[in-house]
Structure 1
Amino acid sequence: MVLQLNYQTTLNEIINRHIAIGVEVEKHRISPDQTLSLRPFPENLSAELRPYVKREFCTSQLEFALPHSTDPELNVKLIGAVIKGTAQQLAPEEQIWHYSCPPQIPCPLAEVPISQVPEESNEYRRQSVLKHDVRRLLNNGTHINFSFSQEAIAYLMRELHFATRDDLYLQIAQYFMINRWLLTYLFGATPFAGQDYFDQHHLCGPVRSIRSSSLGFPNETRGDYRSVRHYIAAIDQAVANGELLQPREYYESVRLKSGNSKDPNRILKYGITHLELRTFDLNPLTISAVTPEQIRFIQLLALYFAYQPHLSGSQIQQLLAVAAEMNEQVALEAPTQQCAYATQGLTLLTELADFVERQQLEATFSEVLDQFRDCFIDADQTLAAQVLAQFDTY
């Protein structure tokens, strides 16, 4: 779709037609007693579902990967239809688990069935369960992949003086990393976990996001986002010194991606094609695990972050160190507690609202911001608080 540069509101066209979103949702299959299913991966799904239902680390896990679309409603509608259709075709005694933290595990941890397909991933998975607590590896989430069209990239590079496409994507990744605490506050949805999730560490009460905290998915390696080469070198070094088994084990909140490859070195040859945001808990209040409002918010943030000041390497290092501490604090706050950074959150949302007005974006984006602004005024409106109110601790 060609970008009409003679539009007065060029950014309105970009945000509605030139930011493609691809969503990946991971969910477990469970048995009638609400425990992790030990049955093999379902091989008999119908032909219309099979392209969108992938194998994951554990045989109980299903990954729903949908085509990229610029339409948030279409994204969510497709995801919901595929998940619902899959649920209807599972074995009669199986259901889909809609929560990020894993259900109770009905076997010794060493006997949790790990996927044997594809065969080339077997050794990596075997080493992963030796290195990490398998219960942490069983955390599921929603990954949002986004990319600009070539026309939008050309416009933004010229408008904002980015030398390359990689520079544009890198800056957006930097700002998403710096502000990921905001996404944890708004979209955290794991206030509790099953009784067998912990051995010795027990939370004093519900929190916003176990999965997004140090108690969630294993994520000990911190990335270096000062430049694309720093990003790649940090991952390569972590593999070389044994900190990471393979580049695919780099589980930071934002990944720079080139095609479908998990090897960041591909970026050096082909460039960044999209960013993968991995910071989202499943939303258990909707079968799709994500809402159109959440996707619109990501589209808006991506465009807004492109317009922010360029950061120096030293600034980025300092801001990322603070951001990691902020995210941990927010993730472990009580769901109904006012966020420690509510003032910063409201300020950012106000700046986003000003950006929407200044760039003449659609009223839909103002409505989304109003909804999320209310979450900072009243923590009971956050997703974590809603989950806590509607779900019993399992």
Structure 2
Amino acid sequence: MANPNYTQLLTSLREQNQLSLLGHIQRGIEKEGLRCEPNGHLSQAPHPQALGSALTHPSITTDYSESLLEFITPVFDNAKDTLKFMHDLHQYSYQNMGDELIWPASMPCIIDGEESIPIAQYGYSNIGQLKHAYRHGLWHRYGRTMQAIAGIHYNLSMPDALWPLMYKEENQSEANAEQLKDFISAKYFGLIRNFRRNSWLLSYLFGASPAVCSSFLDGEQHDLKTFKEHTLYLPYATSLRMSDLGYQNNAQAELIVCYNSLENYVETLSEAITQPVAAYEAIGMQEENGQYKQLNTSLLQIENEYYSDIRPKRIGNGDEKPLQALANHGVEYIEVRCTDINPFLTLGMDETHIHFLDVFLTHCLFADSPNINNAEYREIKANQHASVMQGRDPELTLSQNGESIGLRQWGSNLLAELATLATSMDEAAGNQQYSNALAQQQAKLEDDSLTPSAQYLAKMKAEDLEFAQLTLQLAQQRAAEFKQPLNKELNKQMQRQAKESLMQQAEIEAGDQIDFASFLKQYLTR
């Protein structure tokens, strides 16, 4: 049951011998992972110097916490090479971390109180201080526990050669450079709208965080059930990571960011960065010792503070801020942010997962994508919340255009829509990888025990283990895999890259011409 609105596009690509473009989708992965001690407690050690500078290293950095590693791949046009690069990063890191482990789950290891979560450090350059102060702001606004949650961000873009063909198919004319730039942005925003309509399905299929160590909430109010003495869970939850657990205020709850066009998106986010919030003004800007508590007192300090399951992205030129880059040059790629780390997989995700995301996102791009009004916006949020908190409940219904529909029925309908596209992408790739990925997801809709979230709870129950006990066992298994010796030449190359990144940080620190207060003022008024 192919979605008829892009059947003609697939036919046209095939007739022009351009269907192979669908086999060259560009993707990259950003994977986070907490460093923990051998006993499963959060590491208090600084970012290992042998891994290079967290400020300047292109592939190994930190996210919100000093203990939260982030591995970043370059752009590849196939899943195998992407995962191979990610594997190499893990191997190199393990060989330079002593006896520490990388926690293989999205929800954190054992936390000894909120103050035990170290805020990431990036040196004393102005840009390094900016990144650190931003994270201080997150602490004062939302608490530190949210800074210990890990995930996988999946970045995707279409081959450059595909866009003129799509434009011509829709407009029956050739595009000039400006028309093509605007067309690409509009299409990516259409992808984003369709993604948001249907991302509840990804939570069901790939959510892997139905439980959490009780130390994560540390006495906070919650609606979770007790699994064992130190484990909280919900019986049908798929992705507690994507809930609001661990966030100590809901100031963003009423923020509606509009994805109906690039202009609307830039405008609504820009307003949030300048909108004062009384509670944040009460926090103040600086400690008595001069340490910045936050970058400003607005609803958002910077664009990245807005928590969304998907973002439009553009790599900026020079000093451009993210919104400036988008406004000036258009969307370059999209970043999917709702992927949990699957602790049963060596790298947290595998080729099958990637192939399904490619089909799913390509469908979101090609299918019609009407604008989202406020009623649908609320419906989308309700569906997402229901899926992460109770997605495996066989009786769960969602709302589709105001009508009630079972999650599994809707999921099966969506997968049926993807079938013809998957077949075309198989043809482009020269194998059955996309149809096979689709079949595996259909099996999860028919039997929820195949989902990662169900498998997590089943293993905890069968082995009578706390969340932290099971995950620590899995961390030890991963460590044994990654501690295999790295290729000598590759190891030398990675050592060289780490040293170069430290030198780059030193150069940046030596090159600053103004104090941080002046730098921050300039940055915020750009």
**Quick check: 1:37 aligned with 2:43?**
yes
Determine the structure 2 residue equivalent to 1:64: 71
> Which whole-Å CA distance do the structure 2 matches of 1:175 and 1:334 have between them?
19
**Quick check: 1:326 aligned with 2:383?**
yes
Deviations along 1:8-62, whole A, 9 cap, x unmatched?
4856412211x10110000000012201000010111389xx6421122211010
Return the offset for 1:356.
3.2
Return the offset for 1:88.
2.6
Return the offset for 1:284.
1.0
> Which amino acid in 1 is paired with 2:26?
A
> Which whole-Å CA distance do the structure 1 matches of 2:169 and 2:381 have between them?
31
**Distance verdict in 2 for CA 1:76–1:184, change over 3 Å:** same
Secondary structure of residue in 2 paired with 1:196 = helix
**Quick check: 1:375 aligned with 2:444?**
yes
Secondary structure of residue in 2 paired with 1:278 = strand
Determine the structure 1 residue equivalent to 2:224: 203
> Which amino acid in 2 is paired with 1:25?
K
Counting only pairs closer than 5 Å after superposition, residues 207-356 of structure 1 correspond to structure 2 as: 207-215=237-245, 220=253, 221-241=255-275, 242-259=298-315, 263-314=322-373, 317-333=374-390, 335=392, 337=394, 340=397, 341-356=407-422
> Which whole-Å CA distance do the structure 1 matches of 2:438 and 2:18 have between them?
17
Deviations along 1:113-138, whole A, 9 cap, x unmatched?
11121222122111110111211221
Match of 1:148 among 124, 133, 158: 158
Determine the structure 2 residue equivalent to 1:169: 188
Provide structure 2 residue ranges, at least 5 long, that are not aligned to the other structure.
1-11, 123-127, 172-179, 226-233, 276-297, 398-406, 469-526
Write out the 4+ residue segments of structure 1 that deviate beyond 6 Å after TM superposition. Answer: none
Secondary structure of residue in 1 paired with 2:70 = strand
Return the offset for 1:357.
4.1
Deviations along 1:276-300, whole A, 9 cap, x unmatched?
1111111111221111111111211
**Distance verdict in 2 for CA 1:283–1:24, change over 3 Å:** same
**Distance verdict in 2 for CA 1:154–1:318, change over 3 Å:** farther
Match of 1:109 among 95, 103, 114: 114
> Which whole-Å CA distance do the structure 2 matches of 1:143 and 1:160 have between them?
31
**Distance verdict in 2 for CA 1:351–1:132, change over 3 Å:** same
Contact 1:11–1:359 at 8 Å: present in 2 too? no
Return the offset for 1:202.
4.2
> Which amino acid in 2 is paired with 1:236?
S
Provide structure 1 residue ranges, at least 5 long, that are not aligned to the other structure.
none
> Which whole-Å CA distance do the structure 2 matches of 1:160 and 1:382 have between them?
39
Secondary structure of residue in 2 paired with 1:265 = helix
RMSD between aligned alpha carbons? 2.5
Secondary structure of residue in 2 paired with 1:211 = helix
Determine the structure 2 residue equivalent to 1:52: 59
> Which amino acid in 2 is paired with 1:203?
L
> Which whole-Å CA distance do the structure 1 matches of 2:119 and 2:88 have between them?
27
**Distance verdict in 2 for CA 1:91–1:337, change over 3 Å:** farther
> Which whole-Å CA distance do the structure 2 matches of 1:62 and 1:13 have between them?
36
> Which amino acid in 2 is paired with 1:116?
Q
Whose helix proportion is higher, 1 or 2?
2
Contact 1:15–1:300 at 8 Å: present in 2 too? no
> Which amino acid in 2 is paired with 1:325?
A
Return the offset for 1:247.
1.2
Q: Normalised by the size of structure 1, how large is the TM-score?
A: 0.90
Contact 1:83–1:287 at 8 Å: present in 2 too? no
> Which whole-Å CA distance do the structure 2 matches of 1:91 and 1:336 have between them?
43
Return the offset for 1:319.
2.9
**Distance verdict in 2 for CA 1:360–1:75, change over 3 Å:** closer
Secondary structure of residue in 2 paired with 1:214 = coil
